[in-house]
Amino acid sequence: MRVSAKYPFFLFLLVFTFSNAFAQNQGRTIDSLNALLQNATQDTARLRLYLALGNACDLKDNLKYAEPAIKLAEKLLAQAKNENEKEMLLKQKAHAYDFFTAFYHNGISLSKEMEYYQKQLVVYQEAHDSMNMARTLLGIIDNYKGQGDDYKAMEECQTGLLLTQKMNYKKGIARFLRQLGDIYDDQGDSTQAMENYQKALSIVSDLKDERAIAYAFITIAKGYIHNIQKALINYNKALQLLEEQKDTASIRKVYKLIGEMYMENKDFPNALENYQKSLSLAGKNWFDWELADLLNNIGIIYFNQGNITSALEYHYKALKVSEQLNDIPRVAITNFRLAQAYLKQKDFVNAKNYSDRALILTTKNTFANTILDIELSAAEIDSAIGDYKDAFVNYRHYTALSNKVKSEEVRKAALKEKFQDEYNRQKELDQVAQKQKDAIEQADKRKQEIITWSVVGGLLVVLVFAGFILQSLRVTRKQKQIIEIKNKETEEQKKIIEDRNKDMLASITYAKRLQDAILPPISLIQKYLPESFVLYKSKDIVAGDFYWMERAGDNMLIAAADCTGHGVPGALVSVVCSNALNRTVKEFHITEPGKILDMVRKLVLETFENSENNVQDGMDISLCGINIKTKEVQWSGAYNSLWYIHNGEIHEIPADKQPIGKHNKPQPFNTYNLNLQKGDTLYLFTDGYADQFGGPKGKKFKYKQMEELLLANTTKSMDEQKSALENTLESWKGDLEQVDDILVIGIRI
């Protein structure tokens, strides 16, 4: 009667119905897999079915599938014919160890969990599976932290960092940095904890991984648990990112963490408000240890507010969840909470009942702080009902355990000091290494100065002795020797310069590969716009001009852009501008050309405004949107106009006289709608072609001559038009240097 009073009938019916339906569906899946297993004749199929059964059943049942899966994997490994087959079987064997680690992780045996984590790690090492090695190391770290062995946890963190850094696996590096921060935080070293949290945030921010960024903000917020204002700033940043992604499960966790922060600071009304927000986001499939903790925490708040009836209600709900999960530690804690609530009501019978249950469960497990609270509570309850003998026994247990906890605190304090010593020692080593590096650089600088002055001095000596060359054969011979020495030194200097130029050229060539990666392949452009050409000639190895294309539904967006400068500076600006175009279409889903340019200008200015210097860079652009089904055309431009040929005549739509960048009086960019017919031709271009010097008098080619050239070739195919442009340009330029990047795009409707 007592339990049913705590659970309204409709809630009981809902839980029962959901649990029953889930169990029936799970049972059917397991029955189907067992039927397939009985009929399977091949060992490879049987191995997959054992793993599938382990995944489908409850934690308490999956070990019966894990053992045969491991034995079968080992049998097949002995018969493996090639490395690929061996690697796959090793991964399946390692998967079977997941069942053991999950089972023992559930409060049953941390030592057993560690045993199987170590076995799993060896298998992944043999399979050369670095990614899963990192995942297993994270489990090992959690295990050591659960055992209170923060020093070993830190060692495994360092191992994981080295592994993920070797892979250049940025997300993994960030995860291990967060773990390292958690360990320092457990030791009370908030400075070093926050240092690692901030490093993790910096990495995921560079990756543009919004979910990982949100979790980095959550981690930093947890580090500010006693600074509510700073914690809320970071929690709210995380919530904003998670709400944009509609990640309800993570939003629910954030509200739970905010509630825990307020609860730690004894602000029970705000704690309760955030716990209730978290609970309101619970879907029908939310049934895990976090739900049990949330319900227990709400019960604790009601207990502290003196509302014992509501406290009992939520503790009973938490008990139901913990029992169904077979989570022994949480079952013990919840029984203890119920005993405390009944003691507050002076219901000593129920208080004793739940206290005894908690004691029985904790004697089978090692939860030092929990047992400490339960033993003290049991002594209080026995004293209240007059059972002084049991009260004395429980208090004695409490005292012994209290001494043990104090010893553990002393050990942790010593461990913290050891962490600090190692941190300081590493810092000193880093400083020594930096000094050595600085000394080498200084020595190189001095050497360079000596070489330079030697060359200069050598030239002066040559000039001085040149005046006396006819005076004496002896002087002549001596001068010759000096010249030979100095020439040798000059050659050495020349070689140094050539090597540096070679390194610089290699770096710029690699930069070109990176810049080429942002350009859409010509084959992709011609896939959607088959009658088109792109004439693209950079002045240097890398360019400030670039072309861009993105598909948005039936709308093909294509642009010719000219960034400030050319060469390396122009290329750097082009990466910023290309990224802004991609973000505008992909993230903000803007497809109207004028509005695209408005947003791109905003993003480019935001990128450069963080600089301490007054950056005036930007780009001119001609941007066209073509509906590949209806052939409707929209266009907008910044300084770069659009030409199109219709009925044998060339027409121009002038661009807005403002750049994508800083401008005294910025205005929204205009969007023009064009009514074109099949066979009409569009031309998007930068100023490089018209500005090229050449011809008989070495003058610019100019736009007028470029218009006449396009009109003269308008009836030709797009490939022939491109050839005509290229041949004319080369003939005009002759032996003169190309003065700017050149980009012309032609598209026939």
Check pLDDT > 80 for residue 393. no
Span 181-194, average pLDDT: 78
Among 165-174, 243-252, 283-292, the minimum mean pLDDT is found in: 283-292
What residue spans of 467-547 are helical by DSSP H?
Answer: 473-518, 522-528
pLDDT for 625 equals 95
Check pLDDT > 70 for residue 703. yes
Span 73-97, average pLDDT: 87
pLDDT for 4 equals 34
Which of the given ranges, 159-173, 205-219, 602-616, has the highest pLDDT on average?
Answer: 159-173
Give me the count of residues in the chain: 749
Cα–Cα distance measured from residue 708 to residue 724, given in angstroms and rounded to the nearest whole number: 12
Give residue-wise pLDDT tens across range 653-688. Answer: 999 999 998 888 899 999 999 988 889 999 999 999
Check pLDDT > 50 for residue 408. no
| Architecture of the structural domain at 522-748 | 4-Layer Sandwich (3.60)
> For residue 241, what is the enclosing H or E element?
helix 228-244
pLDDT for 506 equals 57
Give residue-wise pLDDT tens across range 235-287. Answer: 898 888 888 888 888 888 889 899 988 988 989 999 899 988 888 887 665 65
pLDDT for 183 equals 83
Sign, Cα dihedral of 426, 427, 430, 431: negative
Span 30-40, average pLDDT: 81
Do residues 234 and 220 touch, judged by C-beta distance below 8 A? yes
Q: How confident is the model at residue 407 (pLDDT cuts 50, 70, 90)?
A: very low
Would you give the end-to-end CA distance of the chain in angstroms?
80
Nearest to 381 by CA among 333, 340, 335, 345: 340
Q: Which two tokens stand for residue 511?
A: 């930069």
Among 100-114, 491-505, 533-547, the minimum mean pLDDT is found in: 491-505
The three-class DSSP label of residue 232 is helix
**pLDDT greater at residue 433 or residue 602:** 602
Give residue-wise pLDDT tens across range 583-592. Answer: 999 989 999 9
Q: What is the CA radius of gyration of the chain?
A: 37
Cα–Cα distance measured from residue 646 to residue 422, given in angstroms and rounded to the nearest whole number: 76
Beta pairing class for 649-653 and 642-646? antiparallel
pLDDT for 365 equals 45
Question: Any idea which residue has 């007592």 for tokens?
Answer: 2
Q: Which two tokens stand for residue 272?
A: 């309760």
Domain ranges of the chain: 467-513, 522-748
Contacts 24+ apart (CB under 8 A), 300-306: 300/263, 300/337, 301/263, 301/268, 301/271, 301/272, 301/275, 302/272, 303/337, 303/340, 303/341, 303/344, 304/268, 305/268
What's the chain's average pLDDT? 79
Span 136-155, average pLDDT: 84
Give residue-wise pLDDT tens across range 617-632. Answer: 788 999 999 998 888 9
Which of the given ranges, 81-85, 180-184, 404-408, 634-638, has the highest pLDDT on average?
Answer: 634-638
